[in-house]
Chain A
Amino acid sequence: MNPQLESFRYDDAIVRKFLWATFLWGLIGMTVGLLIALQLAMPALNFDIAWLSFGRLRPLHTNAVIFAFAGNAFFTGAYYSSQRLLKARMFSDLLSRVHFWGWQLIIVLAAVTLPLGFTQAKEYAELEWPIDILIAVVWVIFAVNFFGTIAKRRERHLYVALWFYIASIVTVAILHIFNNLSVPAGPLKSYSIYAGVQDAFMQWWYGHNAVAFFLTTPFLGLMYYFLPKAADKPIFSYRLSILHFWTIVFLYIWAGPHHLHYTALPEWASTLGMVFSVMLWMPSWGGMINGLLTLRGAWKKVVEDPILKFFVVAITAYGMSTFEGPMLSVRSVNALAHYTDWIIAHVHTGALGWNGFLAFGMIYWLAPRLFQTRLHSMKMAELHFWLATFGIILYVTAIYSAGLTQGLMWRAYDVTGRLEYPAFIETVMRLMPMYWVRVAGGALYLTGMVLFGYNLLKTWQTRPATYEEPVIQAAPLGDYEELAAPRPAGALARFAQAAWHRTWERLPVTFTVMVAVAVIVASLFEIIPTFLIKSNVPTIASVKPYTPLELAGRDIYIREGCFNCHSQMIRPLRYETDRYGEYSKPGEFVYDHPFLWGSRRIGPDLAREGGKYPDLWHVRHMEAPRDIEAKSIMPAYPWMLTNALDFDGIQSRVDAMVMLGVPYGPAVNDAPAMARQQARAIAQSIAAQGGPADLSDKEIVAMVAYLQRLGRDLGAQPAATTVGGQ
């Protein structure tokens, strides 16, 4: 034994903090989820209150469950496991606390700004620029703390869970920074520096990899640590887990573009994405098998132990959703599933099953150890397991059928060769029963969550007066001696002994750089061509920037989150062009900072909305959609008819656009006056059609201006292109 042992203690106080945060935000995020599920089944629950309307709450739900619930769950497990795997206390208690409170502050800011309508309109990257900066800072603090701990570790080999953590930390930083580059146009308003196709590409490069490196790799790291802990035996195959890791790092990044099949994206890019997605089957199933086989011989224990049950379902859900993901990237499947609830079902298999259950299993295992007592009730945990399991089953069966139903109805033709369901609302009404089943499923899952909290609380109440903090003793590592160790002669022999791989696996810095390089190189090859090859986005002469008033309207569209229900991207498929009109061209979006293609059609596509209805129709429809379309589930926006439009604020928005290279001409100096003029014209036409007398200084005119502009530029071309659907 080494004589100079060092003594230290693990910091579990920080783990307890993250544990409570996980529960609390999980509860809130899921409650909001249940509310928005109810709103789709019963639009009256939008209450005609701006900050409670679906378009504003949906991002709150997604951000809360991803970054607050899953994020804090990852931190809980990472802080617990890293210290033990590295045989070291966290690098700095202060940084741990700053990380904790910083992250919670970000969540609170998100919970305030999103309902107030401050959003960048990019899915899972909605938060506005000051919060984005804060996220970057807190993330760097976490990274410093984490790598600092690695630097002072007393265990030479880095266990595979730590590799997953490292890859997550590095990649999330890269993704976050590049997707959020924007030009501020006010304290809580900014425009993406990318436009149209490029912005879409960036966003889904981000969106795809955020799923990978925020929801998949961190949780795989947790699985590789906590599953052996809970089963009390090592992982089935350590080799397979290493292979699992490298396949994800090498392949996952490439697979982003499949989110944009059939959209105005160059063909080669989405093909590349598809090939890589399909290759992703290998590692994910390897990982699932590895997890499940760890429990071989322990199945009797699984029957009795709810914790292991949570793990088994989590791992199975991982296998299922990673099987489905690549399948969805196959073009023909994607054509059917894209824009439908199928995708919502897919993500909920992943989020409720994989992330949720892994977090529950982990926390049930952790709670008695952290609170140094017994779990209050195993029976209650068992009940939680079954409630949540049935909740998921209800949720996903209902929403898969909803997705399939809607997808099939959109493409159905009758015998005369016309769309069988030309009225979009028919395809919405058909989903209502399934939306109610989803509500039931979600309610079950949430009930389980409440039991979970009660169980945790009761457990916590029986904690000792002071927590024991056992002193650990271990020898410091010192310098990396293995570098000096004699090496086998001959290159071939060295390679066969895998000395190179072993060496850099042990060197965290080299290792991290390797991962970062793999990620960056793959991303660059995916992204550069779309940015730099001119031919990818052919310009269309008739496409002009939005007028100042239209720009203001577009910003209201963004504020209200209309893109959560409406796409603006008609795919080149016959049943799409028959329904909505000429398919969208990349060149139509060159001034769209940010792009607003959307990803889900709860309502119809709006890309060719301009000119389809008179101005007054839109005013009435925005004020009370159900007066126009009795079965509509669109929220009402009555405040647009009373809120004054901030004309003077338009100038700074135009200026920001000009900075981004949008050719604004005279509007550079004169935006408010130009907007007022256009507003008066629209207000007059509304009044002339029999609408309210003077709306010229209200938000609604900007909204109408924007909606009436949509898709018009293409039609302005001499080449005959039809505008509007049937």
Chain B
Amino acid sequence: MRLSDIMAHAGLSTYAEVALVIFLVAFLLIAVSVFAPSRKQEFDAASRMPLDDVHPQSPRGDAS
């Protein structure tokens, strides 16, 4: 029996649908966490990062 026979019986096309759902869920979790209000301060600091070539915006010990 060849590998392809085994795989043919495994019904892989449904796996793709399962993976799709998993990806969607993972993505939603991330989306929710990104929009958590508690992170405003952190994001504000981060968004200023490109504008300052000299001073780190989130240096050591910064507990934002």
Contacts and interface: CB of A to CB of B under 8 A. Distances in A.
Interface string B17-43: 001100100110011011110110011
Nearest to A477: B60
Interface in B1-55: 3-5, 7-8, 12-13, 15-16, 19-20, 23, 26-27, 30-31, 33-36, 38-39, 42-51, 53-55
A533 B51 contact: no
A289 B49 CA distance: 20
B57 to A, nearest CB: 7
Interface stretch (A117-125, A164-172, A521-529, A567-575): A521-529
Contacts of A481: 60-61
B56 A234 contact: no
Given A272-B16, A532-B7, A534-B5, A155 B47 contact: no
Using C-beta atoms within 8 Å of the partner chain, give the interface range for chain A. 35 or more
Interface stretch (A33-41, A380-388, A403-411, A498-506): A498-506
B60 A498 contact: no
Interface stretch (A62-70, A79-87, A438-446, A709-717): A79-87
Interface string A531-543: 0111100000000
Given A243-B31, A525-B19, A235 B57 contact: no
B59 A156 contact: yes
A697 to B, nearest CB: 42
Given A159-B50, A498-B33, A498-B36, A475 B26 contact: no
Contact of B60 (A225, A475, A495, A525): A475
Nearest to A253: B23
A500 B54 contact: no
B23 A250 contact: yes
Contacts of B15: 525
B12 A228 contact: no
Given A228-B51, A525-B15, A528-B12, A155 B59 contact: yes
A495 B62 CA distance: 21
B13 A529 contact: yes
Given A234-B48, A529-B12, A532-B4, A154 B54 contact: no
Nearest to B61: A481
B55 A235 contact: no
A474 B50 contact: no
Contacts, number: 141
A2 interface: yes
A535 B19 CA distance: 22
B16 A239 contact: no
Given A239-B34, A239-B35, A154 B59 contact: yes
A235 B45 CA distance: 12
A505 to B, nearest CB: 10
Given A239-B34, A521-B19, A526-B16, A85 B55 contact: no
A529 B36 CA distance: 38
A472 B54 contact: yes
A492 interface: no
A535 to B, nearest CB: 6
B25 to A, nearest CB: 10
Contacts of A101: none
A497 B38 contact: yes
Contacts of A485: 63
Nearest to B32: A498
Given A250-B26, A532-B7, A476 B50 contact: no
A78 B50 CA distance: 12
Interface of B: 3-5, 7-8, 12-13, 15-16, 19-20, 23, 26-27, 30-31, 33-36, 38-39, 42-51, 53-63
Interface of A: 2, 10, 81, 84-85, 87, 154-157, 159-161, 224-226, 228-229, 232-235, 238-239, 242-243, 246-247, 250-251, 254, 268, 272, 472, 474-478, 481-482, 485, 495-498, 500-502, 518, 521-522, 525-526, 528-529, 532-535
9 contacts: A157-B57, A268-B13, A496-B36, A496-B38, A497-B36, A502-B33, A528-B12, A532-B12, A533-B4
Which 5 A-B pairs have CB atoms at the shortest separation, nearest pair first? A532-B7, A498-B33, A234-B47, A238-B47, A501-B33
